[in-house]
Structure 1
Amino acid sequence: MAVASPAGVRRGPLWRKLAALAAALALAVAPIPASAKPKPTVKQLKRELAALQKESDKLITDYYSTRVELQKVDKTEKAARERFKGAQAVYDREATNLRLMGTTQYISGEPNLANMFSGGGDPESLLNRLALNRHMVDVQNARLRGFAQVRDELQRAQEESAAQEEELRATVEDLEDRKKKAEKLIAKMRDKIEQLHDVPGARRDGTFVPQLPAGEDNITPRMRLVKQLVQERFEVPFGIGCYRSIRDGGEHPLGRACDFMLSRGGAMPSAAEIARGNEICAWVVKNAKRLGIMYVIYRQRIWHVRNGQWRTMTDRGGTTANHYDHPHISVY
């Protein structure tokens, strides 16, 4: 008699219960997919901000104290330089006089007693000549002593000036270091403050719900937030252009794009404005996933959130068309 295969066994209620139990157990032990990192709460952000504010106040106080110290050192250094300049002038003048004295003595010869007595005359005349010679020697000695004092004063002024210059340089370096630390902390605080803004239409899984343009500017709430944050952080003195009705296949007519101008009339921006454009792009790329950025275009290059890399674009034939005078930001 042939043995029935398992596939041919009729399965009763007990079998179905066991199968259901096995399926439930399988689900229970299945790995749970990793969830996205939860967004910090407003309370957490405010607590972090309070700690950063305390640290910032100390840094700014230190920065201010160093600036005051720098002003004092700078004043002392300038005074030392002036003293050195004056001492140098006196030294040069006395050195010239000393050279002239030496030249005169060399030409006329040193006075001696034989020359004094060879002049003849009465004793009164001789005494007068001796007194005159003594006076000349005293004048020369005084001049030599004065020159030595001038020389020593010049040396002291030179050393003081060099010491003050070194102290000034060290203070400037210290001030610059404190300034950089304060700027980094301020940027960190700004990042925390920006996180307090709820991105319109954002979902916990990092996707973004499509939005309709609204308001007088005809842009979406998400684009409006990005525009506001860029303006607050960087300023854009040459204007921001967002909605336009021309349907060119981009996001402008959908209210999902803005151009942050770095010059006027299609002119090539200055070096400072080009740097500003680079800073805007770097910040937008850094915050792309949080703010719902889709892509950024700047200086004939495009960055898309899908691949996270910059690539060169084809030449469109002009400064503005190639985005050399503005970063273009599009959101979902």
Structure 2
Amino acid sequence: MTATTPPSFEDFLAALPKVELHVHLEGSMQPATLLALADKHRISDLQRSLAEIRSWYEFRDFDHFLEVYRQAVDVLRDDDDFALLAVEVIRALARQNVRYAEVNFSLSDHLKRGIPADVVFAGLERGREQVEAEHDITIRWVPDFAGDFGVAAGQATLEAVLAHGPASVLGFSVGGLEVEREPFGDLFSRARAHGLRSLPHAGETEGPDRVWSAIHALGADRIGHGIGSMRDPALVDYLREQQLPLDVSPTSNLCTRSVSSLEEHPLPYMLDAGLLVTLNSDDPPMFGTDLTGEYRTAARMGLDRATLAQLARNGVHAGFAVPARKTALVAEIGTTLAQHDAAAGPGNADVP
């Protein structure tokens, strides 16, 4: 009789259907793509070797991250560039068995550089349509603006979305430095009135007050990051009662020093508190991770396979895929967990 080898934890991660709700398009640009586009557009201040670019990409501190991110934004000049990046990013998601993703992109940065919104959307749509035809994945777009650019930048971004955004634009977000959210209240009211979901960043580098303001002033349908919520028991109670989703990115939080160590990351406590938490990669190559890597990180934090599967289900529930897609994904996640638990044998169901 030939002994069979039980499926590994990596097999489980590969088979697990996933949803990505907080990933930035520009922050997902690979070093080789940055270099190729810099060469294409003859950007003289970035003429470096691929090895140097890869070394430069390695996270050092938040200021360095912003430097790299803004350079990634700057090499995007025409619709072919946006199509190229969209294809690269969506294919990378599909390789990880991501079936549905809501992808942020920095529309305000492109408008500020003089890139017309219709150019941006034309490229993104071409890339999305190409990869959706190749793989079982659905992509929805979430244009955002940097809060530190001010209300005027947010207004210009929303106007561009309303004038040029395709049907695949799902929501509207504010990111950048975590400034006060109240000044953007009227802007988000208008976005919601036009059917856009309110998906602001809040509670990443700041505390519960930013999350409360995202809820009350911006009518948030979901909170990007939200880890600062844990400092306020009343807010934790509210989030649990309302099941308002929080998109958590552990490696990002560690790199940006939002948390000082993985052991201190609140993800396990958020789950224990009954919060609707999703797992996300944020800016994968810049933080040396991807969505599958975040599941590995969650396992290192002590989460077992059943909890990782619950995180995958949370992503389905927190996203805005059509109901039939959600039902099918939840069923497939359950089947995947059951198959791997059965193959692992008695006593091994909780072992990553």
TM-score of the superposition, structure 1-length normalised? 0.22
| Larger radius of gyration between Structure 1 and Structure 2 | 1
Whose strand proportion is higher, 1 or 2?
Answer: 2
